[in-house]
């Protein structure tokens, strides 16, 4: 398993980039914008991690800017921790066998979400290419929130 990123939602992208990049001196290493989803993802790295982060996409801080006007309360501005796993199906099977609810099953062979005992959302991402979809995962519905 390898740590990938921590995601936080931001209300004011300009103010957040000023804080993280201009004041904390983090470096933007990747950006993704979705017109359809109406959001922007900006990935930042600490200066000493910037070159590694460009190559390995970790360790990163992901700023998620939703273009709507949602107010983030109850800690919703903190999004999730993300880890890369060698085999998403084996990892989810092990977790499920040990009493962990798979909130967002890896139907696509690429991504799953679980929650910690304290309710922290954790994203699990398949290392490399997505695995071929397979049962029982591809038939499973989401459970709760993630």
Closest CA to 22 of 49, 47, 5: 47
To the query of whether residue 33 is one of the catalytic residues in this protein, the response is: no
C-alpha to C-alpha distances, 31 to 44, 46, 57, 60, 105, nearest whole angstrom: 9, 16, 12, 12, 26
Out of 57, 62, 84, 123, which one is annotated catalytic? 123
Query: Does an H or E element contain 32, and which?
Result: strand 27-34
Q: Please list the active-site residues.
A: 123
């Amino acid at each position: 398993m390898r740590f990938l990123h921590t995601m936080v939602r931001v209300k004011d992208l300009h103010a957040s980039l000023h804080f993280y990049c201009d004041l904390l001196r983090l470096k933007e290493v990747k950006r993704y914008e979705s017109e359809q989803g109406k959001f922007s993802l900006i990935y930042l790295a600490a200066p000493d991690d910037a070159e590694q982060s460009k190559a390995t996409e970790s360790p990163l801080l992901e700023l998620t800017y939703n273009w709507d006007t949602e107010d983030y309360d109850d800690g919703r501005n903190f999004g999730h921790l993300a880890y890369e796993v060698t085999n998403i199906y084996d990892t989810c099977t092990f977790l499920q066998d040990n009493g962990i609810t798979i909130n967002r099953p890896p139907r696509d062979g690429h991504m799953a979400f679980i929650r910690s005992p304290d309710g922290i959302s954790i994203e699990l991402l398949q290392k490399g290419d997505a695995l071929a979809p397979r049962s029982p995962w591809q038939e499973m519905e989401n459970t709760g929130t993630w």
